[in-house]
Amino acid sequence: MKDMTQKEAQAEAIRRWGSTGTIMFRPSRSTGRCRGRLVRYCCIVRNGIGGPFDSIEGQGHTWREAFADARSR
């Protein structure tokens, strides 16, 4: 199954969680930008704007994995 684009992932986050749904993409080292030694996944989805108020968060190597992780928590 083909993964989502960033635009599709943002639309899915808003569809699931309303206007507070957010996504974050941290590219890998292969793109020339370092995302940090402890960061495991490049795709993060949340139902809030960050901080302690997020009740749902998902992470994965693809947007689909991140949304599946958010559903399983």
pLDDT tens digit sequence for 7-56: 999 999 999 999 989 999 987 665 555 555 666 888 999 987 666 665 78
3-state secondary structure 3-72: CCCHHHHHHHHHHHHHHHCEEEECCCHHHCCCCCCCCCCCEEEECCCCHHHCCCEEEECCHHHHHHHHHH
Domain count, the chain: 1
Give the range of the structural domain holding residue 62, as residue numbers without chain letter. 6-72
pLDDT at 13: 95
pLDDT at 63 over 70: yes
Q: Is residue 1 part of a domain?
A: no
